[in-house]
Every structure is written in structure tokens, then in C-alpha cells.
Amino acid sequence: MSRRGKFSLLISILLALCIVGRRGKQAQMQMSKKRTSDESHAFKKAIREKVWVETSVDSDHDGKKDRVKVDIIRPEETEKGIQVPVIYNMSPYNAGLVYPDYYNVDEELHCPAPSFTEEYHYDKYFVPRGYAMVNASSIGSKGSDGCPTTGDPQELLAAKAVIDWLNGRADGFDESGNNISAYWTNGKTGMIGLSYEGTIPNGLATLDVPGLKTIVPIGAISNWYDYYRANGAVIAPGGYQGDDADRLAKGVLTRDNPDVCMECMDQMEKEQDRKTGDYNAFWDERNYLNGVHNLKASVFLVHGLNDMNVKRKQFAQWWEKLKQHDIPRKLWLHNGGHIDPKVTGGDKWLKTLHRWFDFWLYDKDNGVMDEAQVTIQQPDDTWIQQTEWPHIDAHNTLFYLGTDPSGRGALQEFEGASEEEKATFTDNAFMKAEELVKKPEVIAPHRLAYVTSKLDSPIRISGFPQLSIQASVDHPAANLTALLVDYGPDGATVVTRGWMDACNVDSIWQSKALDPGRIYTFEWDMEPHDYKFEKGHQIGLVLMSSDYEYTIRPKTSVSITVHYGKSHVILPLVHV
């Protein structure tokens, strides 16, 4: 080819590149002018690729930095000059969840003298609307290196590496080992996930990662201690009696050659201290509440009001910290349990989520931040809007424990009982709460029950119930459990519950053996809730020791004597 021919070919290539780049910029400008990103990209033509991102951690101690597997789905147009934001999910569940045996919970107390589908990840919804979907496998799971560490800093730093790669700060490799870059993204990243997949964004946001603009934690953990413990008591996630942090790590250990992680698993088993249930350094580094002051990303917080796996305290204490530090935020409470809000919210949820991501990742002025901060689904499936949660009109109402004229347990808004009045019950760890709450008017050996008079009008609880109970125990150790109950014409409904290890009467950091017969003041909270008691119903409080579905179940028959006088429960009530 002549020089003139080569020159002409070079000019043609440069012109073509300019045209492609101009079209990409034009498409980007047209997209940015719209208030909502529309469905203009064909999902069937989307580009799919795999990348292994090198992290900054070596969790399996093999002398090499862990790499995590990343699956990417991005619009075809990203090969024509368009740069798009990313919706990112880091999951330990991509190869499923295979649990080892749970711990035995039928033992004495001690005091010292899921595989998710493409549908779930919203790929088919957001890729056509101009987003790249990035789904990574957490350390220790299939396709990635390292060992699972159940929410510790190593796990968070591994998740951070993916955002670093998206912004050119970390290396990524294809299957052949070639270094590749994320040229197709503008670096703006939002994270979303349910359960463990939503917990990682909570923790990662506390590291203030450049490029992480927003997170959408769904049914997520904010403090791992409160997932497996409660006020010193060893507590199971609802439906998983005998679970613990090390068992979860073993359940997601789906990498090749998992035996290299056994030393790590053994270390977790030791450090989690299942024997006492005390708070310690192991749990403190997994407490993301400590780092909320570092948050720069906005938070769209989502939780099920009937979620007893990742319990409501996880969202409530996170929300409170977000308020304290004035983090841009939104709260969505649905009527379901530990599920994706698509199930209960349908199109309403998808449209709200879409607008949220458009606002934070596409800079679209769509008004989503001008709306009420809180959306709550009602039992009849209608939705209400609030400016805040708990409800701004919620007032702490104190009810003392006592008896009515007939001698039955009563909740009274006055200190009517003397300190000499008392009642005793004996633990039966193998009776379920649903049986113990029945017939509160009947004196029963294994619980104490107290009820209000019938309500003259509906009343709503919004926030944390709190207890202060003066009691003595005839053994050095005991579980304490409180149930808040709705008594109506159709029977009893357990509204919420709370637990405490009596040995942690002074601190969750250190348990101590009780002096049998000595009167202590035990203070603990119950799981927060947003719940309405109807007119004519009665609010009930049931005190018992072990909770069959949640606590350790000792065989020792412990007796607990509750002294009235100053014993009380505080309920955050809103008159409807």
C-alpha cells in the first residue's frame, strides 16, 4: 500500500472513531435530559463477561492477594462509547448455601465464676434502562479465592476492590490472565442486596469508598452481634436455631479446595465465644454502627416488618445512626418477612427503586428526595407516608407490673404495687411461646402474664419497647425473655419479643455469675416494631425464661421471682 493509501486509511479510522464517540456522547446527553432512564437497550444483546479482581487481602494466608470473581452484564451500546453507572451486588450465595450441622442448643447456660437467580438481581429490569449489573462472588465462595469471614474488614475490603477496579484503582483479569479495565463505566456505583448481600453494602459504606454513591440494603445486618446475640444471650436467627457466625461462614465456603480455610473456621468458632455470649473484639469489628460517621453514600433502607431472621433492630438502629449523622436516606417498611420487596411492593417498589438509582447514579432531578422519607405498608396492603420513623407523635408510655383487684397480672400506668409484692415462675425451655401466651388470666407455672384493660381506641406502637424488671434468680445463670402480645377476640398474637442473659446484668462485655436470691434490676430492649392494636384489644406482656425457638435451652429448672414496685415496661405509643 502506498503512503497516500495508508494515510487515507488512518484518516478513515480516526473519523470513524470520532463518529462513534460523538454518537456515544449524543446518546449520553439525550439520556441525561430525561427525568427517568427509559428502556432503550436490548437485554438480549447485552454484553456478558467475567473478570477476576485482585483485592488487597489475603484471607486464606497463601501469600497471594485474594481475587474475586465478577460477572458483568452491560448494555451493548457500551462498546460504542456510552459509559454507564453500575448496580453492584456482592454475594456469598452464588453457589448456594450448604450448612454444616447446627450447634446443639439443648445445653446448660454458662457464666464465668441461598442461591439467587438473575431475576433476583434485577438484571432484566435495569440493563435495558442503561445500567451495568455487576454480581461478584465474595471471598471463599465459588470462583473466588480466600476464606469467608462473616462480615469482618477483610470481607469488606474484598468488596471494595470491585469498586476500585470500576474506577481504575485495582487490577482485573480475564480468564486468560490478561489485564482488563472497566472502560465502559463512569465509575458511579450503587449497591443492592438482600440479607447477607445487603449487609456487605452497609459495612462497605462505612469505609467511604470513592465511587460508591448509594446503597440499598434489604433485610440487612447493621451489627452482627445483634444477629446472633441479644444483651449477652446467644440467640438464633428466626428459623435457624443453633446457627452462629462460624456456621454461616462454613455454609458459604463453596470455593475449590475449601480445606485451606479450616484454620480460619476454627479461629472464628473460638473468637465468637458462644459459651458466654459476651460482646468482644470479634463482634466489635463486625459492628458497622461504629463507622456511620464515615458514610458519604446515600442509603435507601428496606426491611420487612415481619422479619425475624434479620430482626427489626438491625434496620432501626441503623436508621437512628443515619439520622444522627444526617445521611441522605429513605426508609421502606413492607409487610413481609425476610423477602425481597418486589414480592410485597410490585411495580410500586420497582418504580421507586428506579427513581432512586436514577437520582443518585444518573443525576436526574426526579423529585425522589423531595418526597416523605418513610413508606410503610399496612396490614391491608395499603401504604402510608411519614416524615420520620419512629412516628413523630410516638410517646414513651410507662406501664408498671402489678395485679388487678382479682389478683390477675395487670399493666398499669401508675405505680400501684409495693416492692413486697412478687410472683415466681419456673423455666421450661421446651414449651413454645405460642403456648405460654394463651389464657393470660390463668396463673401458669412457667410464665407471668400482665395485660392492660381493653383499649377504648386503636393505638400504635412505633419504636423500641424497653423493660426494667426487678427480679431474683435461684441459680447463678438464667435466660430472660419478654413477649409483647396482642390479645383480641381471635386469641393471642406475639407482636415482638426481647431477650437477655441475666449474667450480663452489668454489661454485655462481661458476664458474671448471679448471687442466688439477690434482687437485681434487669434492663433490656425488645425488637422494635410498627404495629397497631385495635379497639377492644388488650396489650399484654409475658415474662418467661428460655425461648424455645431462639435461646439456648438449658435443662436446669431455674426459678425467677419478679418483684413489682418499680418493675415496668416502656412502650412508644401513638394514639391513632
506 is catalytic: no
Helix (H/G/I), strand (E/B), else coil: 403? strand
Contact indicator for 551, 524 with CB cutoff of 8 Å: no
The whole-angstrom separation of Cα 442 and Cα 460 is 27
Whether 567 is a known active-site residue: answer no
Catalytic residue among 303, 334, 338, 568: 338
Q: How far apart, in whole angstroms, are the C-alpha atoms of residue 537 and residue 490?
A: 10
Is the sign of the CA dihedral 25, 27, 30, 36 positive or negative? Answer: negative
Q: Which residue has the cell 477496579?
A: 165
SS3 (DSSP) at 465 = coil
Return all residues near 304 (Cβ < 8 A) that are at least 6 apart: 219, 333, 334, 335, 336, 337, 338, 339, 341, 344
For residue 87, give the nearest of 219, 185, 164 by alpha carbon.
Answer: 185
**447-to-36, 121, 398 alpha-carbon distances in Å:** 56, 45, 21
Active-site residue, selected from the candidate residues 244, 307, 486, 530: 307
Amino acid at 276: T
For 13, list phi and psi in degrees, rounded to 5: -65, -45
Q: What's CA 195's distance to the chain center, in Å?
A: 6
At 266, phi and psi to the nearest 5?
-65, -40
Asked whether the beta carbons of 190 and 213 are under 8 A apart, the reply is: yes
At 40, phi and psi to the nearest 5? -120, 10
The C-alpha atoms of residue 540 and residue 481 are separated, in whole angstroms, by: 14
Name every residue whose Cβ is closer than 8 Å to that of residue 236 and which is 6 or more positions away in sequence.
105, 228, 242, 243, 549, 550, 551
What span, in angstroms and rounded, lies between the C-alpha atoms of 35 and 386? 24
Amino acid at 405: P
- 176 within 8 A of 194, measured Cβ to Cβ: no
| 206: Cα within 13 Å, side-chain hemisphere | 22
H or E segment and range at residue 72: strand 67-74
Asked if residue 446 lies in contact with residue 428, where contact means CB atoms within 8 angstroms, the answer is yes
Of the candidates 144, 195, 462, 567, the residue annotated as catalytic is 195
Measure the CA–CA gap between 248 and 245, rounded to whole angstroms.
Answer: 5
Torsion-angle region of 548 (φ positive above 0: left; ψ -120 to 50: alpha; else: beta): alpha
138 is catalytic: no
3-state class percentages of the chain: helix first, strand second, coil last, to nearest 5: 25, 30, 45
Contacts of 209 (CB under 8 A, 6+ apart): 160, 163, 164, 297
Active site residues: 195, 307, 338
